[in-house]
Structure 1
Amino acid sequence: MAAASDTVAPLSNVDDVAAPRIGALLIRPIEAVSALLLCVIIVLLLTGVASRYVFSYPVVWIDEVASISFLWLAMLGSAIAIDRNEHLRLTLFTGMIPRRLQEFVHTLGLVLTATFLLVMLQPAVEYVMEEWYVTSAALNIPNSFRVSAIAFGIFAMLGFIVSHAVKASTLRDLAVSVVFVAAIVGMLWLLSPTLLRLGNLNILIFLVGVVALCLVMGVPIAFCFGIGTLAFLAFSTRVPIFVMIGRMDEGMSSIILLSVPIFVFLGCILDATGMGKAIVDFLASLLGHVKAGMSYVLLGSLFLVSGISGSKVSDMATVAPALFPEMKRRGHKPKEMIALLATGAAMADTVPPSIVLIVLGSVAGVSIAGLFTSGFVVAMVLLAVLAALARMKASGERLGDVRRAPFQTMWRTILIAAPALVLPFIIRSAVGGGIATATEVSTIAVLYALIIGIFLYGGIGLRNCYDMLVETAALSGAILLILGTALAMAWALTQTGFAQQLAAYMAGLPGGWIIFMAMSIVVFLILGCVLEGLPAIVLMAPLMFPIAKNLGINDVHYSMVVVTAMNIGLMAPPIGIGFYIACKIGNVPPDEAMGAIWPYILALLVGLVLIAAIPGISTAFL
C-alpha cells in the first residue's frame, strides 16, 4: 500500500486475482519516460522557485516547459494505469453477478472502452494539427508539441486495452461484445433524428443512464464519463466530437494541477522513509496511556500525516499497521478500529495539502490559500466530534498494565519525529500565508522530504525511487484523466442550458440558502458514495458554485460543506469505496465492519451540520 493516491485499492475486486501485465516490453519505455518527466517537472519548478525568490530573476519559459511535460506525464500515466489496472472503478455490482457472466461483462466493458478510444483518436489527431497554428508565448513553438500527448496517450491506451482484451477474454465473449456494441451504435445512429427532438431528455438517457450503466458494469470512471459524453454529443446534438478533445485538454492542463503528482510523490516518500510512522510513535508515547488514548493517537496521526501526504489511502496504510496490534491488545474490536480508521481518514481529507482541495480550487476558481486555511479548522471540528465519540466508546478498554511512557522515550520519539512534524506546518503556513503557491510549496516539500529521508530516516534506494516515480505517474494519470472527461461532461451539461434551468429552480426554492445547502449535502453525500471526490467535484462544481454565489454563500464555506459531505459519502457503506479500502488495509471483512461504522458516520454528520450552519467555522480565519 505504498501508493499515495485515493485511487489505488478500489480498482479491482478484492476477490479478484490481479490481471497479468500486458505488453511489458512496450510499457517499460513509457514508464521510464514518465519517471523522467516527473523529475523534469520537479527540477523545473524548484529552479523557478529559486530564480524567483532567491535571485529575483523569474525565468519565463519554465511554466511552459512544465506545462508541456505535465500533459505528457498525465497521458503516459493514464496508459500505465491501464496496463496496471489502476483506473478507479466501481466493482460493488459486478461482484453480485455470477462468475461466468462477470467475465462477459468485463469483456464488454473493455470493448466499450476500446470503442471510445478508437473514436476519439481521429479528433485527437485533428486537434494536434489545429494547434500547430497556435504558438506559445515564451518558447514560440507550436502548441502541437504539448497537445500531441493526448493523441499519443489515447493510442497507447487503446493498444493496451486491445492487448488485454485479446489475452484475458474468450474469443466467444469478445465476438459477442463487438457485435453487441456495433448493434447499439447502429441503433442509436438510426434513432439520432428522433433523439435530436427529445431535448433535455437526452441528459437523462446519456449523461445519467449510459454513465450509470457503465459504472455498474465496472468500466473505469474516467471512461464512463467519456462514453456518456461522446454518445450524447454524437447522437443527440450537432456539436462536433472534436470539441470534446479541447475540453479534456482544458480539464487536465490547469497549472494549479501541477501540484497533484508532486504531492502524490511526496506521499510515496512519506511511506518509503517511515516519516509517518515516526509521527505515530511520538503521539503514542504522548497519549497512549490515557483512556481512549490509542483512538486519539489514531485520529491525531491521520490528522498530521494527512498534512504531508494529502491522500486518504496513504494515511490509512501508514497509520493502521503501526497502531492496530496495540489497540487489539487493549480490547478494541477490529470492526470498531476499521470504523474509526475510515471516518478518521474522511475527517483528515480537508487537512492541507489535500488533493481534493487543490482540484476544487482549480475547477471552481476558489483561493487555494483560503481552502487550506479553512480546511485545517474544519478538520479540527470533525476531529473533536470523532474524539468525543471514541471517548464514549472506550468504557471497556483494558488499561491495567499500561503505563505512561518514560520521559526518555517521549524525548527520543519527539526528536525522531520532529523533522517530519515540521513538514505539514511548512506547507500550511507557506500556502495559507500567501508566501508561495501550492505548486511551489509541493516542490519545496519534496526536496525537504528527500533530504530528511536520506539523512535522517534511512534513505531511499534508487530502484525504490524509480518505482515511486512510475507509481506516481500512473496514479496521477488516473486522476487527471478523470478530471479531463468529467470536465467534458460538465461542459456538455452547461451547453444544453440545464445549468441555467437548475439555477433558476434552486433560486425559486423556499428557504433560501438553507434549503440549497441541505440539498447540496444530500447530493454530494450520494455522489461521494458513487463517484469518489475528484470526479464529483469536477462534474458538479461548474453547476453548483454559481448558484451558491448567487444565494450569498461564501465560496470557501460552500467548498468545506461539499468536500466534507463527499468524504462522508465515500466512507458510507454499502457503496462507499473508501470503506472497502479501510477494510482491506485492516484485513477485516466488510460485513463485519459495516454495522460498527454508522455511529461514526452519524458523528461526522453532526459535525457537517455544524459546519454548514455556522459559516464562521470556515471563514473566521480567512
Structure 2
Amino acid sequence: MSFALGLVPIVLLLLGFPIFLVLLTAITVALVFFMNLPLAALHQNLFGSVNAYALLAIPYFIYAGELMGRGSVAQRLVDFVQSGTSPLRGSLGITTVGTATIFGAISGVSAAAVATIGKVMYPPMVKDGYPKPFAAGLITAVGAIDIIIPPSIPMIVYGAAAQESVPRLYAAGMIPGLLIAAILAAYVMWQARRGNFGASQPFEFKRFLQATVRGLWALGAPVIILGGIYGGVFSPTEAAAVACIYAILVTRFVFRELTWRDILEAAVATTRFTAQILIVVACAGVFSWLLTVNQVPAALVAWLQSLGVGQWSFLLIVNVVLLLIGCFLDPLSAILLLTPLLIPVVKALGIDTVHFGIVLMVNLAIGLFTPPFGINIFVAQSVLGIDLKTIYRGILPFAALYLIGLALITYVPWLSLAGVWLLLN
C-alpha cells in the first residue's frame, strides 16, 4: 500500500504528470492491487468529494473576478489609491500594494491580480525611475496577498477539506493580509528613499475626490461581499453569486465597457478554470479517503506524539515543509493533499484550525512567486515581457519580507484570531 500511496505519486510528479492524473493513478493502483474494494468506490468518492455546498462559491468568485478584470476596474482602483498616496515617497509602489490588496477582495485569484495590475503599474514605475528588477519583483510578489485576503478561493478549498467555517477563515485572513501589505509598503518607501526614486507629489483634494467618485463602483464589490457575509445578509456562496450579478451590472450598464459577448466569454473562461480546480478536488478527495481508511493520519499523530513534538516545533517543521512543497505544487493541490494528513495532528496538539489555515495560506502564497514553478513568476514574465533572471533578482527581498510576516502570523495566533473575534462575536 505504501508503494501505491507514497512512491507512485512521487515518481509521477517528478515525471511532470498533472496533479489530478498523479492522484488518480495512485488511487487506481491502490484499489486494484492492494484493496479488496470494487472500482465503483472510486466513482462514488470522486463525485462525493465535490458534493460540498462551500465549493459552489468557487465558480462565482472566479466569474466575478473575470468580469471585473476585463474592464477598467484595475485602472480605477489604481487612480483611487494613487490619489491618496501621492505625498509619500515611492507612491507608485505603494499604490501597487494597495491596489493588489483591494483587487484581492474582489477576485481571490493571485495570477489574475499579477496580470491585471502588472499591465497598469509596471510601465509607469519604470518610467518613474524604479529599477526593473524591483518593479517586477514587487508586482510578482504582491499578487500573492490575494489568497490571504478574503474572498480567497484556496480558503474555500481548505474550509471544505478541514470542515472549517469559511466565514471564520475569511475573518481570520484580514489582519494577516493587511499586515503583509503594510510590511511591503514600508519596504517600498524605505527603498525609494534609499535609491532616490519614486518622488512624491503634493496631495490634491480635487484629484482625490474625482478618483474616489470614479472608483466608487469598483470599491463597492468588496464592500458588498464582505459586508453581506459579516452583516448576516448572506452566506459566502450567496455572496459570490451576488458579486457576479453586481459585476455584470457594473461592467455592462454602469461602465459600459463589456458587451454581452464579452460576458459570455468570461463565463466560458470561468468554466474552464473551475473544471481544472474541481477535477483536482475530486481526485484529492478520494486520495484523502484512502489515507484515512488506511489510518495514515492516525499513525502520523501517534508518531509525532511519541517524539514529544510541541506546538512551536510542529509549526516550524510544517512551515519548512510547506515552503518546499509550495515551490513545486500549486496552492489548491497542496491544500488538498496535506490537509487530511495535518489536521488530525493540529487538533491533537491543540492548535486552532482557523489559525493553522491562515499559516497554510501564507506559506502557499510564498510558493506562488518562488522558483522553480511559482505561477506568478511565469504570469509576470508573459505580461511584463522581461526575462526570468530579472524577475528572480527582484523577488528575493520580497520573499524575505513574506517570511517575516509568516513568522509573526505563525507564532502570534491572535493576529489571525482577532479578526474572528471582532467580526463574528
TM-score range, shorter chain: over 0.9
Q: Amino acid of the residue matched to residue 349 of structure 1?
A: I
Contact kept, 8 Å, 1:330 with 1:397, in 2: the verdict is no
**Aligned mates of 1:616, 1:403 — CA distance in 2:** 37
How far did residue 453 of structure 1 move? 1.8
Residue 122 of structure 2 corresponds to residue 324 of structure 1:
yes
| CA positional deviation for 1:240 | 2.5
CA RMSD of aligned residues (A): 1.7
Where do 1:183-222 residues align within 5 Å?
A: 202-203=1-2, 205-222=3-20
Q: Which amino acid aligns with 2:101?
A: F
Name the residue aligned to 1:353: 151
Match of 2:423 in 1: none
Q: Displacement, 1:471?
A: 0.9
Supply the AA of the counterpart residue of 1:422.
G
Q: Residue type of the partner of 2:153? A: I
Q: Distance in 1 between matches of 2:222 and 2:8?
A: 42
Does residue 258 of structure 2 align to residue 449 of structure 1? no
| Matching residue of 2:310 | 512
How far apart, CA to CA, are the structure 1 residues paired with 2:375 and 2:14? Answer: 14
Aligned pair 1:583/2:381, yes or no?
Answer: yes
Alpha-carbon separation, structure 1, partners of 2:342 and 2:296 = 12
The alpha carbon displacement at 1:488 in A equals: 1.1
- What residue identity is the alignment partner of 1:373? A
Partner residue of 2:104 out of 306, 328, 332: 306
5+ residue gaps, structure 1, are 1-201
If the length of structure 1 is used for normalisation, what is the TM-score?
0.65
Structure 1 residue corresponding to 2:195, chosen from 386, 389, 396: 396
Indicate if the aligned counterparts of 1:289 and 1:399 stay in contact, CA closer than 8 A: no
Residues 109-124 of structure 1 aligned to structure 2 (within 5 Å): none
Q: Match of 1:416?
A: 214
Number of residue pairs matched by the alignment: 419
Q: Secondary structure at 2:327's aligned position in 1?
A: helix
Q: Which amino acid aligns with 2:396?
A: W
**Higher RCO, Cα 8 Å, sep 6+:** 2
Higher-Rg structure is 1
Q: Is there any run of 5+ residues in structure 2 with no aligned partner, and where?
A: 421-425
Per-residue deviation, residues 141-194 of structure 1 (Å, max 9, x unmatched):
xxxxxxxxxxxxxxxxxxxxxxxxxxxxxxxxxxxxxxxxxxxxxxxxxxxxxx
- Equivalent pair of 2:90/2:197 in contact (CA under 8 Å): no
Partner SS, residue 208 of structure 1: helix
Change (3 A) 1:617 1:509: farther
CA distance in 2, matches of 1:483, 1:315: 23
- 2:124 maps to a residue whose letter is E
CA 1:450 to 1:312, structure 2 compared with 1: closer, same or farther past 3 Å?
same
Among candidates 296, 307, 315, match of residue 113 of structure 2? 315
Report the equivalent of 1:231: 29
| Deviation of the 1:506 alpha carbon | 2.0
1:511 offset after TM fit, Å?
4.6
Distance 1:386 1:617 in 2: 17
How far 1:321 sits from its partner (Å)? Answer: 1.1
Q: Distance in 2 between matches of 1:216 and 1:425?
A: 43
Letter in 2 for 1:354: S
Q: Report what 2:58 is aligned to.
A: 260
Letter aligned with residue 110 of structure 2: K
Q: Secondary structure at the match of 1:235?
A: helix
Separation in 1, partners of 2:164, 2:198: 47
For 1:326-345, list aligned pairs within 5 A: 326-345=124-143
Q: What does the per-residue CA deviation read over 1:357-395, in whole Å, with 9 as the maximum and x for residues that have no partner? A: 111111111111111111111101111222222222222
Distance 2:268 2:213 in 1: 32
Q: Secondary structure at the match of 1:309?
A: coil
TM-score in terms of structure 2 length: 0.94
Paired residue for 1:568, among 346, 366, 370? 366
Identity %: 27
1:281: which partner in 2?
79
Shift in Å, 1:399: 4.7
Say if 1:261 and 1:473, in contact at 8 Å, map to a contact too.
Answer: yes
Q: Residue 166 of structure 2 corresponds to which residue in structure 1? A: 368
For 1:603 and 1:469, the matched residues in 2 are separated by: 36
Residue of structure 1 equivalent to 2:93 = 295
Deviation for aligned residue 1:288: 3.5
- In 1, the alpha carbon distance for the partners of 2:87 and 2:236 equals 38
Q: Does structure 1 conserve the Cα–Cα contact (< 8 Å) formed by 2:161 and 2:339?
A: yes
Letter in 2 for 1:255: Y
Q: Structure 2 vs 1, CA of residues 430 and 506 (structure 1 numbering), >3 Å: closer, same or farther?
A: farther
**Separation in 2 of the partners of 1:285 and 1:556?**
36
Structure 1 residues 453 and 520 mapped into 2: Cα distance closer, same or farther (>3 Å)?
same
